[in-house]
Amino acid sequence: SDTVSLTVSGPISITTQPAPTTVNTCAGSTVNITMVSTGATTYQWQIDVGAGYVNIPNGNSANLSIANVPANYNNGTIRCVLTNACNTTFSNTVSITVQTPGLWSGATSTAWTTASNWGCSAVPTATTDVVIPSVAVNMPAASSAVNMRSLTVEPSATITLSGAGALNIYGNLTNNGTISGASAWVNFMGSSAQTINGGNYNRVSVNNAAGLSTTAALTINDTLQLTSGKVALGSNNLTL
């Protein structure tokens, strides 16, 4: 008679649940989660960021490694689904917080130059895209020149400049909040064309041969300094 091969799958056992149980990292970094189990033949790591669990790309090994972790994994919950021919088991979950460089929190104070006020505890540089959210605990203030690539100020958010405080911007400015300071300079210092979405400022300088263009009406109360380049208005008004 013919012979039949019979494979019997036993239970799946997770002897060491995923570790660490909480992850606090920066966008773009690498995250490693380890787990020890027996009896499983397939693994699929998943994440839920509020809309249900979805598979993590390349997350089909006993341990999980996420290279270049995306910012949208923030406040997510990670688990592993272990299976064999007869059984499915779910691991315990891991909570993940993904900080974004350049995102202001104001967790410590109003001081722009205090690292703990920023995502990833890193004060912005000329290559950082900065966002000042309307929900920040404290709004930023600076009394010296500070650098950034792009700057986004959300509605109701504020930046207060005093003394020698100035914003050195190497990219674009999107200001839907308030940038204040009687002697405050907003300096456009990029090497490619920059844009501003209009607004009201005291002092603006352009030191960029590629120039600055505004997408809305622009008011400058004190000084417009053109060291290099020009301001392109399009159909928008410039009030000095």
pLDDT at 182: 86
Q: Which pLDDT value is given to residue 224?
A: 96
pLDDT of residue 183: 85
Q: Is the peptide bond before 20 cis (omega within 30 degrees of 0)?
A: yes
Tell me how crowded residue 216 is: count the other CB atoms within 10 A of its CB: 11
User: What pLDDT does residue 8 have?
Assistant: 58
| SS3 state of residue 207 | strand
pLDDT in tens, 165-224: 999 999 999 999 999 998 899 999 999 999 999 999 999 999 999 999 999 999 999 999
49-73 in b/e burial notation, b at 16+ Cβ within 10 A? Answer: beeebeebeebeeeebebeebeeeb
DSSP letter string, 171-184: S-EEESSEEE-TT-
Give the largest CA-CA distance in the chain.
99
Are 150 and 122 in contact by the 8 Å Cβ rule? The answer is no
Q: Is 209 helix (H, G, I), strand (E, B) or coil?
A: coil
Q: What percentage of the chain carries pLDDT values higher than 90?
A: 95
Mean pLDDT of the chain: 95
Residues of the chain with pLDDT under 70: 1, 4-9
Cα 88 to Cα 8, 13, 95, 185: the distances in Å are 15, 10, 22, 61
- Quickly list DSSP for 77-140: EEEEEEE-SS-EEEPPPEEEEEE-TTBB--SS-SBTT-GGGBGGG----TTPPEEE-TT-SS--
Contacts of 3 (CB under 8 A, 6+ apart): none
Do β-strands 166-169 and 185-188 pair in parallel, antiparallel, or remain unpaired? Answer: parallel
